[in-house]
Structure 1
Amino acid sequence: MRQPTVQDAPQLRAEAEAASGHLPALILAAERLAAMVAPGAHGLRRAGPGEDFWQYRPASSGDGLRAIDWRRSARSDAEFVRDREAQTAQSAAIWISGGQGMHYAGDGRDSKLQRARLIALALSMLLLRGGEKVALLGQPARAGRLQADRMAEALLADTQSDAAQASALRPQGRVILISDFLTDPDWLPEFLDHAAGMGVRGIALQILDPDEAHFPFDGAVDFRDMAGGQRHLSRDAGSLREAYLARLNERREWLADQTARRGWQSGCHVTDEDPATRLAALWSALGGGR
């Protein structure tokens, strides 16, 4: 990989400033989206190590003197123990494709990359509020409120590859893969096999623009890829619709099969759909709102 040079510095600085300018808007949008799905943190609803009060219960023979809540016990003839709600910190890693196609956006819509970042950050906020650790795949997972800000900065600054790296996996964690999965996904089966061998489970989320999901084109259309390397001029785009949708359906079925056979889940989100619906599905699939 080519290393940055001195001549690259002004461009890198400009890109960093542009990214930081979007940071407050991304955080605000993600906070609003997360609040629509699950306003508060969700623990495991059982007694154990944690910070939040769960319940008072009568003391039993196994409770030591230090466990007794004497203030509560003074209001009655019995002794009571103050239980806290257990919160087991798990780790979740999020990967967003860095492929050029993720920048595509139809008229007046978010790009697939923008929507992926929004859903990823909102999901991170929900997981962090539940006491879990979160990071981008390959980065150290952390818990706490500050990690949401770090995630927002990383999502805007980090350009991940078009293939998730199995070497970045950590045992027993959970992974959320977000991509359009339209380019050749030959890397995915090996990645999923490696994950399964490490006890890692997760979700593969396909994000599409409505143009890609429905192929509304008719007449003469000049198709170009986002990298500018390929071009196809069609005089009758409508005649391509049936074959295109069949290929897209094949890819969706392949993605569903590859994930299911390794104990993963898959889903599809189109950018003209409500992101809250997809976020709620991801949150539920990860065990949120127990």
Structure 2
Amino acid sequence: MSAAARTLRARADATSAPLPALRVRAERLAATIVLGEHGRRRAGMGEEFWQYRQAVPGDAASSIDWRRSARSDATFIRQTEWSAAQTVTLWSDAARSMAYPETGETKAERAALLALALAILLNQGGERVGHAAPDLRPATGRIQLDRLTALLGREGGGCDYGLPPAATQGTSTHVLFSDFLAPGEELFERLTHIGRQGERGVLVQILDESEEAFPFDGRTEFRSMGGAVRFETERARALRSDYRAKLEERRRRLATLARRAGWLFHVHHVQTPPRAALIWLHGALGDVR
């Protein structure tokens, strides 16, 4: 084998090595969730019986279950369970800020794990799952999961902070994983734009606990993961109160934006077991319809 071929093989091995590990972790995590038909536990078009409810003025006579109504003084409507598949587009922020912390599991790794585990659950429930930026059109099946694994296992790079894609796929539900720490107003403009298109979604803010606690003291140099922003101080502790206030204000804005758009907002720490977040996500997707 030539030197060039050996170099190419080494690069290929280094690139593909994280993918099986990510897939195995995601499948194990997904397996901890008890599954039924995901998110379909509500009345709607379908064949499976859902529930009886009392008839109200305006209900069609053809929808009345006369056999059930004969056993009571009330008139009952027989409802079937909603059975149409939903379409979910994931976005997992891979900007440099997500490569924090520099030791242990990073925010990017946790975001990828949760995104892929959620995709596995949705796929098992017959839902279509895709990815935004880079674009992967929603689909079902193992091949789609292979494609998602490759996208989510990619290395980050580029900008210091990530922004969700300005153009969306017009899907019914978006799930965005990020630290949502991009400076300026562009982040909120992007999120508002997606919300105004009438699409539903979930925001999952992933942070390291040190970003909450701000445990820094004395002389400290702060820098963005890409090195574009640097700030040095002799009294880091004096910044703690203002920093925490700004972080809390950022979180309030995200929560308010999500609420106005009919979205849900959740905060998850890298140090927290991922299963709790996955359980929340699995339930939340049934609430954003």
Question: TM class by shorter-chain length?
Answer: 0.7 to 0.9
Task: Name the residue aligned to 2:212.
Answer: 213
Q: Conserved in 1, the CA contact under 8 Å of 2:128 and 2:140?
A: yes
Aligned length: 248
Residue matched to 1:149 = 146
Q: How far did residue 170 of structure 1 move?
A: 1.0
Paired residue for 2:164?
164
Structure 2: how far apart are the matches of 1:146 and 1:156?
15
Q: 1:89 aligns with which of 67, 81, 85?
A: 85
* Contact 2:221–2:230, Cα closer than 8 Å, also in 1: yes
Distance in 2 (CA, whole Å) between partners of 1:158 and 1:89 is 31
Contact kept, 8 Å, 2:180 with 2:187, in 1: the verdict is no
In structure 1, list runs of 5 or more residues that go unmatched: 1-9, 56-83
Residue of structure 2 in register with 1:260 after alignment: 259
Q: Is the 8 A contact 2:196 2:261 kept in 1?
A: no
Cα separation, 1, equivalents of 2:167 and 2:283: 27
State how far apart, in whole Å, the 2-side matches of 1:35 and 1:276 are. Answer: 10
Letter of the 2:31 partner, please give it: A
The whole-number CA distance in structure 2 between the counterparts of 1:13 and 1:260 is 49
Q: Alpha carbons of 1:252 and 1:164: their partners in 2 closer, same or farther (altered >3 Å)?
A: same
1:157 to partner: Cα distance: 2.9
Counterparts in 2 of 1:234 and 1:189: CA distance versus 1, 3 Å = closer
CA contact (8 A) 2:220 2:233 kept: yes
**Structure-2 residue corresponding to 1:24:** 20
How much has 1:178 moved relative to structure 2?
Answer: 1.1
Contact residue 131 and residue 148 of structure 2 kept, 8 A: yes
Deviation at 1:100, TM superposition (A): 1.1
Once the two structures are overlaid, the 10-residue window that deviates more, 36-45 or 134-143, is 36-45
Give SS of 1:203's match.
strand
For 1:102-113, what aligned pairs fall within 5 Å after superposition? 102-105=98-101, 107=103, 109-113=104-108
Q: Which residue of 2 aligns with 1:136?
A: 131
Tell me the TM-score normalized by structure 1. Answer: 0.75
SS of the residue 2:177 aligns to:
strand
Match of 2:62 in 1: none
Partners of 1:11 and 1:249 in 2: how far apart?
Answer: 47
CA RMSD of aligned residues (A): 3.0
- The gaps in structure 2 that reach 5 residues or longer are 1-5, 50-79
Aligned to 1:4: none
Identity %: 39
CA 1:36–1:11 in 2, change beyond 3 Å: closer, same or farther? same
d(CA) in 1 for partners of 2:150, 2:16: 7
Which residue identity lines up with residue 242 of structure 2 in the other structure?
Answer: A
Name the SS of the counterpart of 1:18 in structure 2. helix
User: Does the CA contact (< 8 Å) of 2:218 and 2:235 recur in 1?
Assistant: yes
CA contact (8 A) 1:169 1:195 kept: no
In the TM superposition, residue 88 of structure 1 has moved relative to its aligned partner by 1.6
Contact 1:87 1:131 in 2 (8 A): no
Distance in 2 between residues matched to 1:22 and 1:252, nearest whole Å? 32
Structure 2 distance, partners of 1:215, 1:121, is 30
Distance 1:210 1:148 in 2: 30
Contact in 1 for aligned 2:39/2:286 (Cα 8 Å) = no
- Deviation for aligned residue 1:27: 0.7
Asked if 1 retains the 8 angstrom alpha-carbon contact of 2:45 and 2:84, the reply is no
C-alpha distance in 2 between matches for 1:85 and 1:242: 50
Is 2:268–2:277's contact at 8 Å kept on the other side of the alignment?
yes
- Separation in 1, partners of 2:44, 2:216: 58
Residue number in structure 1 paired with 2:114:
119
